[in-house]
Structures are given as C-alpha cells and as structure tokens.
Amino acid sequence: MSNLFYQAQGRRPVLEQARGVYMWDKDGKRYLDGSSGAMVCNIGHSNPEVLTAMRRQMEKSTFGYRLHFETEASERLAQKLAGLMPGDLNRVFFVSGGSEAVESATKLARQYALASEQGSRWKVISRAPSYHGCTLGALALTGYTPLTAPFAPMMQDMPKIPAPRAYLDGLDADDPATGHYYADMLEAKILAEGPESVLAFIVEPVGGASTGALVPPNGYMERIREICTRYGVLLIMDEVMTGAGRTGSFLGSDHWQAQPDIVVMSKGLGAGYMPLGAVIADERLVVPILAQGGFAHGFTYAGNPLACAAGLAVVNTLEMNGLCDNAAKMGETLLARLNGLMQKHELIGDVRGKGLLTAFEFMADRDSKAPLPARLNAHQRFVDLAYAKGLIIYSRRTRDGTEGDHILVCPPLIVNAEHIDEIIEGLDASLV
C-alpha cells in the first residue's frame, strides 16, 4: 500500500458513494454514517444545494491567492459567520482545517498582546484530557498523552488544568458548586503561573474526541468567563467539533452565558465538502493588530473561493432546514435511547452529550467507575463489530488517553427517528 495515511488502521473498504446519512463501498455494502465521518458531515453527504453552489463557483474560479485578490465567496461567508456570532466577534480569518484554526487563533492572541503592551503574556492554558489538533503548536495545547508523548519534548509544555469530569469524581454535575469547583482550578493555575504571563485559555465547550461528549457541569462556563475577564486572559472557544450546529445551537458555547473572545471552527463548516476552517475574533483584538500593519500570518490556501462557496452553502442549508433545532430534538431522542441501552447492557457505565454530540463509556464497574482493562481494546473491537453490521461510529480512550473506552455517536444533523432506531439496533447488536 503506498498511501501512508491508511496504514495505522489496516485495510478498510473502498468508498464508492455517499448520500445523506448513508455511504456505500465498492462491493455495494451500505453503512449508516453514525459519526458524520469524524463529526464533520453535519448536513449529510452529497447535499444537492451545496454541490450546485460549488459547481457555480468552479465555473468562475477555484483559486485566487489571498494577497492578490479578495473574493466574493470569502467575503460573503465572513459576513454570514459574523452575523451568527455573539457580541462583536466579527473579524474572520479563514484557514483549511481545525489544527490550522487553533494555531491561527493562538498567534492572533499573541499578536494582540504584543500590539497592546501586554507582551509578557504568552502562555495558553488548556485542559487534560483535551484535543486541539495535531500540528506542533496545537499539540502543545492538547492534553492527550498517546498523541503528545511520541513527539516530546518537541512542544512547549503549556500549563493544563483537569477537564471537569464530575461523573468520575462522584460530583453532581447539576449543582453549580461543582462547576465552580472545576472552574476555580483555572484561577489557581493563572495565579500559579503569574497572571501577567497568561495569554489565553482554550476550551472545547462540550469535550470531543478526548473526553467523549463531556458536557460541563452547571456554573462552569460562566465562572470560566468571569475568571478570564478578571485576569485579562483571552477565552478561546475551540468549536472545531461543536460548531455548525452539532450540539443543537450554531455554536456549542451558545448554550451558556460565556461569550468567547475568539472562536475557532472547522469540521462542520466545510462539512466534508471542502477543507475549511475559520477563526472569528472580537473586533477589539483586531484593531491594534491592524494598526501595526495586520496579522502576520497566513496559509497559501486560506480563503479559497471554492471552500468558502461550499461553506456558505453549508451554513445556508443548516439554517434553511432548521438543522440546529433538529439536532437538539433528535439529540434528546438519541440520548434517551442510549440511556435505554445502558439499562440493558452492564458494560455501559455512563451516557452523556448535548444535541447530536453524544457518547457512552464502557466500564468494568459502574459504581467504582473502573475502566475495562486496556488490553481488551474494547472500543476498537466494538467499532469493528458495528462496522461489520453497517454502522460507522467513532471511538477513543477516555481517561488519560491510555485507558477507558468511549464511543461517540454523532450522526449527521439531518437524522430522523427511523435513523435513530437503526443506529440503536446496530449498537445493540454490537454489544455482545
């Protein structure tokens, strides 16, 4: 096999075509895409309106280098996104993926600090576990040992605080005291590092790949916002997975009174049609940067007109078809059905999620929360069983990345009740 990409997984079937929530391989076998790829294909596969918008753009131009041309496609998408953001988050910088977006947000925050006489601030606090991307800078913010350890000590060791896993600590996630308890760890970390050295805090509003749909306890996000404001620390919301409707609102952070200073988006924005990411920053951060001649950063493919035309059609499709609302509604159904599976199967120790970002976690013992022995490799075996039955799902290790198995169930936001039935049947049949 010459494609290095595929070697980790071994052989997989060859993809032939994909429509809506289904995908077919070369042998004609059908799969229900229960993870939207990797939480990417939010509006489903081969959406005709998006394909038409892309075709139209292709007839006009597929590339215009950002230092040579502005494009109508990138301007229209930037305006559209700005209109969907809270407060004054109205300056958009396009990239081609999630890691690029995280890197760009970090550099933008740093340039803002330098341009506004806060040059001592450079540390970005994040959480463990967390996932923010695979490039070296984004990896430095990632708290997930199996992905960071193989490259250590290549990255700066950025400070981390624990993710708020109330279910493991035996705390009540509905009680705001729990949210405050975890959020106050950020304040303690800022004080320990020295507030004048801390640039930003980066957080996934609902934890994704590393924690398995971890919904923050009540009171957490609001308290995080207060602490960041108190110490002049920028709040970066990593909405790469949660953005574009996944959790039942356009941004995952829309569920809380915790307005970010910078939002990063990717996955569901290009929705599998084109590689696309965006950094959306508060106006006040951009003003001093522009006064210094602009953001000293950029990728060759940034703002690609074809990607932006696809992104605009994706966002319009989300809106016109009420897909955020559908994600909220179907997410409730899915969560209830997953809880039903937990009643039936001892092996499931926890079910969680928001909108259509849902997950369950395998445990050896529900009371003690003990994980299954890592050598069983339960999550990968389960994914393979489901795969054989025609259901695609996404799994990872939960605890520190070396043990604990969680399965993310995140179908496209176009799912209906029958699709949910089919997903539950596939999961049930794979829990043998």
Q: Which residues bind ligand PMP (CB under 6 A)?
A: 38, 97-99, 102, 131-133, 204, 208-209, 238, 240-241, 266
User: 407 by DSSP, 3-state: which?
Assistant: strand
> 234-238 and 198-203: which strand pairing?
parallel
Tally Cβ neighbours within 10 Å of residue 19.
Answer: 12
Pairing between strand 22-25 and 15-19?
Answer: antiparallel
Give min distance, CB of 352 to ligand PMP, in A: 16
Between CA 180 and CA 222 the distance in angstroms is: 9
- CA angle at residue 276 from 282 to 203, to 5 degrees? 50
CB of 241 vs ligand PMP, minimal distance in Å = 4
Residue with token string 């992905």: 147
The distance of closest approach from Cβ of residue 375 to ligand PMP in the complex, given in angstroms and rounded to an integer, is 26
Nearer to ligand PMP, 97 or 248 (CB): 97
Q: Which is nearer to ligand PMP, 112 or 131 (CB)?
A: 131
Which C-beta is closer to ligand PMP: that of 207 or that of 404?
A: 207
d(CA 11, CA 220): 42
d(CA 315, CA 49): 11
Specify the residue, 81 or 115, whose C-beta has the smaller distance to ligand PMP: 81
Least distance in angstroms from the C-beta of 96 to ligand PMP: 8
Taking the complex as a whole, how short is the minimal distance between the CB of residue 60 and ligand PMP, in angstroms? 27
Rank residues 54 and 240 by Cβ distance to ligand PMP and give the closer one.
240
CB of 100 to ligand PMP, least distance (A): 7
Q: Which residues are paired to 392 by β-bridges?
A: 33
Q: Tell me the residue number closest to ligand PMP, measured at CB.
A: 98
The least distance separating ligand PMP from the CB of residue 134, rounded to whole angstroms, comes to 6
- CB nearer to ligand PMP: give 81 or 420: 81
CB-wise, 260 or 349, nearer to ligand PMP?
Answer: 260
The single-letter DSSP state of residue 377 is -
In 3D, which of 297, 356, 359, 305 has the Cα closest to residue 102? Answer: 297
Work out the widest C-alpha separation in the chain, in whole angstroms: 62
Report the nearest approach of ligand PMP to the CB of residue 98 (Å).
2
Interhelix angle 98-115/283-291, nearest 10 degrees:
60
DSSP string, 53-83: HHHHHHHH-S---TTT---HHHHHHHHHHHH
* Closer of 187 and 204 to ligand PMP (Cβ): 204
CB 358 within 8 A of CB 338: yes
